[in-house]
Amino acid sequence: MQIPRDAMLLRIFIGENDKYQSRPLYEAIVLKAREAHIAGATVLRGPMGFGHSSRLHSAKILRLSEDLPLLIEIVDSKEKIDAFLPVLDAMMGSGLVTLEKVQVLQYGTNGKT
């Protein structure tokens, strides 16, 4: 699979407790991206954050984590990302979605051992 040098980065900010059809939303998004043959997706867990409600979500040592923030980053061509956006929209109830142009410098291996 190849990605054009000029690509798009889709960022999805959601909560750890968000669900889609009784499955964690982050998992459902990554699996749908894989089904769509998107070049790559990564889920990152944040130790602290807040969103639209301004409610602070934090992982404190003496407290169990409560709906920690998650960031999903997806990179591919503009065409593939544009085609994936309606799928994503149907899955999300709340959250923040951003899109930006990026330059891909390397994807996969360069054939050297």
Q: What is the pLDDT of residues 17-47, one digit of tens each?
A: 999 999 999 999 999 999 999 999 999 998 7
CB 3 within 8 Å of CB 76: yes
Residue 62 main-chain phi, psi, to 5 deg: -95, 10
Percent of the chain with pLDDT over 70: 84
Q: Report the C-alpha dihedral over residues 23, 47, 67, 59, rounded to 10 degrees.
A: 130
How far apart are the C-alpha atoms of 55 and 28, rounded to whole Å?
25
The closest of 66, 91, 76 to 37, measured between CA atoms, is 76
Q: List the domain boundaries for the chain.
A: 6-103
Residue 90 main-chain phi, psi, to 5 deg: -70, -20
Check residue 61 and give its pLDDT.
52
Q: Which residue has the higher pLDDT, 109 or 59?
A: 109
**pTM reported for the whole predicted model:** 0.85
Mean pLDDT of the chain: 88
DSSP at 94: S
Exposed / middle / buried, residue 40 (Cβ in 10 Å: 0-12, 13-18, 19+): middle
Looking at CATH, the fold of the domain delimited by 6-103 is given as: Alpha-Beta Plaits (3.30.70)
